[in-house]
Amino acid sequence: MNSIIFTHTFRFIILVLLQVLVLNYINFLGYINPYLYILFILLYPLKNNRVVFILLSFFLGLTIDMFFDSGGVHAAAAVSIAFIRPFVLKFSFGAVYDHQTMKFSNVEFGSKLTYFTIMILIHHFILFSLEIFNLFKIILILQNTLFSSIFTIILCVLATIIFSRRT
Amino acid sequence: MQQIINFIIRNKSFLLYLLLFSIALVFTVQSHSYHKSRFINSANFLSGGIYKSVNDINEYVNLKTQNLILQEENSELRSLMFSLSDTINHTYIDSTYSGISYKFTPAVVLKNSYSLNNNILLINKGSNDSIQQDFGVISSKGLVGIIDNTSNKYATVISILNTNSRISAKLKKSNHFGSLVWNAKSPRFIQLTEIPKIASIQKGDTIVTSGRSTIFPKNIPIGTIESFQLDNAKNYYTIHVQLFNDMTSIEHVYVIENKDTEELNTLINSTNE
């Protein structure tokens, strides 16, 4: 139990630092940045206290907001995907998730990709809608969402492949 | 009563989500209104400290280019100094005293952003160095932004690349003035609006600050005209200005304090009443 808490605290700090100090300066094609920090929410243990999980996601978003001076956009997006995570899990993994036996290290790649894609798309859409905050720029919001999502999905999948413990 | 408590316990995660989401929404709305101090900002001990320690390392990478920029500025100031001493010797006009006293404080940019809609910079000077809200920030090449939040050691700057910022600017040639806004498309260009149709403008003309607000002194360079068009009502020009400053790589800036701000503001307010 302690090792789980330790792993996730460590992951929280590393992801925030990576996001703030490296990934935010990529600016691919001028404005495309990946938001890898939500990997913390994606890979949070499945058996969890939901209240604690939502609170943690909120603080993760708020920490990112503090570094980016972006008001509360990351907090809003992070807390939203934390709340809808059980529904997305059920949708993408189906029966495996219902039996409470699944682990992220031994699930099918296809359903994992579906899960990542849905979560990341929703997160980015909320993020950019709140950041741009103008309904007339809906095209810009969708465009940013699409490009940044592709970038984030690729990085998330790569990160999970590289850091998965094979036994 | 029992039922209400049961309802709350049953839906506690949803209610918590609603609460946290609305808190985040309040922060967001706050950040979109100009000059309302942000509750969450990077001018604090934790994020400021982290940005500073990383910047201490990063500085070395840009040392050469930054040195060149500083040297350029030095030579410019030197030539100004010599030409000035000439005029003073010959004509005896008190041209050094402009009536308004400005204090310049050098600072280093710790965090720069230019790809968002509302870009904010972080600098390494704060209220300990008597920096306050609404002080102007410039670099050796031109305008950078306006101070927003301050902590003891750090301050955040609303960049000119921010859709909320509006700074008064004018055509250097004809003194027609308008306000600078940003359309969030490119960090190299900024828009000057509300220039009356009667003004004669040409591609390549210089845009400078107007000095109509108390924040910036007159004639700080901003950029040159890249293109211009009349707005829908055909009364005002909207001008695309190419910035002198490369906003993607600023490091050394100066914070301008206008010592007469208070006096000017009381005077203006008493006239308005």
- In tens digits, chain B (273 residues) has pLDDT values of 888 888 888 888 888 999 999 998 888 888 777 655 666 777 778 888 888 888 888 888 888 888 888 888 888 888 777 776 655 555 444 545 555 578 888 898 988 888 888 888 999 988 998 888 888 998 888 889 999 888 888 999 999 988 888 888 988 888 888 888 888 888 889 998 888 888 888 888 899 988 887 888 888 889 999 988 888 777 888 889 999 888 888 888 999 888 877 887 888 888 776
On whether residue A144 sits in a domain, the answer given is: yes
Interchain pair B50, A20: CB under 8 A: yes
Domain of residue A82: give its range: 2-162
Chain A closest-CA separation from residue B28 CA (Å): 5
Number of domains in chain A: 1
On whether residue A100 sits in a domain, the answer given is: yes
Q: A126: alpha, beta or left, given left = phi > 0 and alpha = psi -120 to 50?
A: alpha
Interchain pair B54, A75: CB under 8 A: no
Q: pTM of whole model > 0.80?
A: yes
Q: Say if the ipTM goes beyond 0.95.
A: no
Distance CA B104, CA A136 (A): 41
Exposure class string for B66-103: b at 16+ Cβ within 10 A, else e: beebeeeeeeeeeeeeeeeeeeeeeeeeeeeeeeeeee
On whether residue A167 sits in a domain, the answer given is: no
Interchain pair B47, A66: CB under 8 A: yes
Q: Smallest Cα–Cα separation from B205: which of B174, B238, B183, B245?
A: B174
Closest residue in chain B to residue A28, using alpha carbons only: B115
Interchain pair A73, B17: CB under 8 A: no
SS3 B216: coil
Which residues are paired to B208 by β-bridges? Answer: B170, B221
Burial of B267 (0-12, 13-18, 19+ CB in 10 A): exposed
B54 CB neighbours in chain A (<8 A) are: 21
On whether residue A101 sits in a domain, the answer given is: yes
What phi and psi, each to the nearest 5 degrees, are found at residue A129? -60, -45
Distance CA B221, CA B63 (A): 24
SS3 A12: helix
Identify from A29, A64, A70, A132 which residue to disrupt to test chain B contact, counting B C-beta atoms within 10 A and taking the largest count.
A70
B51 CB neighbours in chain A (<8 A) are: 67
Interchain pair A71, B38: CB under 8 A: yes
Chain B closest-CA separation from residue A81 CA (Å): 10
Residue count (chain A):
167
B14 CB neighbours in chain A (<8 A) are: 83
